[in-house]
Structure 1
């Protein structure tokens, strides 16, 4: 039996990561993407609060419900953690109600992925400005994950992030590793990464968790389709536990 996991994705930047993962996963998985409204493309707190607004997500989640998905993920890290832990949980609950299926967001996907791999200390390679990146570090800290190194590239728009290619991504992630980090987290769904996950991990010698990767892993977990899979990094290759709620 196949599994269908739906994603709410703001605007257009690296949404082609999803068909790339779908192809890698095989014929038993479908990953439809619904593009949600982005009135302003900016990694700025006020714009992010609008991008992740309840009205915007409910509209997209209703479309996923019509598509018959088995789980739904709000595939936007900054547009979820910017609300804080409780606000992000309320946001996910709104998606769950509108979609009628288990739901989560990329921010909680990072937390659940870190817990799944037993990570306690991580480096964060963030494309965001410093104030936004700091909110992601605080979100992780709430879950007991220590950020030993936080990089902030200060790129304002998702559109610009989406233009970064293989060489730039490999250099960016490698440059922002830290010897005390058990893994490197790359928290922007606007950044293409999934085609190079194994290459990234080989270069760094440790797990690399990226936004679109963890979003798909989380969705499959919620849909009861979690099992070891190759070609998508340590996270996908590791034996899954039973599905649980979005806060893990």
Structure 2
């Protein structure tokens, strides 16, 4: 039997329990016949106020992730999406590959991660030099720089917002993000990448591409795009950035 609404694909989505942005973002980018089903990774301590606390969040995700997988698998999903970014680039390219293998071996399903999506999106735009905006502490920003270096992308500038808690990431205003995008821009970069799936950048990135005249990759848009294309779903989506309407 075929699912009445998810007759093309049912995507399972893993996200921290503190995340309030990735779920509505994915719903905003919905295409006919594809449904997304959230499973929350329990975050017991959401403090992000130091490098040590940032590492603790990553450890919590690692310890809790398979419980979230077990829950979403009961929906009979066809594909798994990591709606988390930091965990996926933490140990570089090989760490991302190991995470994908761990989840694929456990579920028997293919998996999209934010890091895989980020790499594919930058390759689609042929980006070599970028600016980056993140909600993280310094330890995570350095991990991200390492990952991007491994995929042959130079980070010319990076703005880490140092959000004090995991939930506070979703409270960063559009006006604040717009000012940071303008601050990060310059003739020495090919595009801007936003990481942090709980940072609301979907509509702003689409808008910013018009006045910056270069790609602005919102991580939730990239991850959803990657998942669709990974499943041979070529629908074009408008209002969420060039990636989803051009590639």
Shared topology, TM-score over 0.5? yes
SS in 2 for 1:157: coil
SS in 2 for 1:128: coil
List aligned pairs for 1:30-49, cutoff 5 A: 30-43=35-48, 44=51, 45-49=54-58
Q: Aligned partners of 1:52, 1:212: CA distance in 2, in Å?
A: 18
Q: Aligned partners of 2:226, 2:59: CA distance in 1, in Å?
A: 24
Q: How has the CA–CA distance of structure 1 residues 48 and 88 changed in structure 2, closer, same or farther, with 3 Å as cutoff?
A: farther
Pick the aligned partner of 1:214 from 201, 213, 222.
222
Q: Which moved more, 1:43-52 or 1:185-194?
A: 43-52
Aligned-pair CA distance for 1:89: 1.6
Pick the aligned partner of 1:13 from 16, 19, 23.
19
1:22 corresponds to 2:30: no
Residue equivalent to 2:4: none
State whether residues 14 and 191 of structure 1, in contact with CA within 8 Å, keep that contact through their aligned partners in structure 2: no
SS in 2 for 1:162: helix
Q: Aligned partners of 1:95, 1:35: CA distance in 2, in Å?
A: 15
List aligned pairs for 1:160-171, cutoff 5 A: 160-171=168-179
Aligned-pair CA distance for 1:90: 1.2
Residue equivalent to 2:136: 128
Q: How has the CA–CA distance of structure 1 residues 172 and 227 changed in structure 2, closer, same or farther, with 3 Å as cutoff?
A: same
SS in 2 for 1:235: helix
Residue equivalent to 1:204: 212
Root-mean-square deviation over aligned CA pairs:
2.0
Q: How has the CA–CA distance of structure 1 residues 166 and 151 changed in structure 2, closer, same or farther, with 3 Å as cutoff?
A: closer
Residue equivalent to 2:8: 2
1:137 corresponds to 2:145: yes
Pick the aligned partner of 1:150 from 132, 152, 158.
158
List aligned pairs for 1:166-185, cutoff 5 A: 166-185=174-193
- Max Rg structure: 2
TM-score by length of 1: 0.86
Write out per-residue CA displacement over residues 97-154 of structure 1, whole angstroms, 9 at most, x where no aligned residue. Answer: 2332110311221111111222111111122122211110110110111111122222
TM-score by length of 2: 0.86
Q: How has the CA–CA distance of structure 1 residues 69 and 39 changed in structure 2, closer, same or farther, with 3 Å as cutoff?
A: same
Q: Aligned partners of 2:234, 2:220: CA distance in 1, in Å?
A: 16
1:52 corresponds to 2:61: yes
Residue equivalent to 2:234: 226
Q: Aligned partners of 1:46, 1:21: CA distance in 2, in Å?
A: 27
Q: Which moved more, 1:132-141 or 1:79-88?
A: 79-88
Q: Which moved more, 1:123-132 or 1:183-192?
A: 123-132
Q: Aligned partners of 1:68, 1:224: CA distance in 2, in Å?
A: 19
* 5+ residue gaps, structure 2: 1-6
Q: Aligned partners of 1:57, 1:127: CA distance in 2, in Å?
A: 21
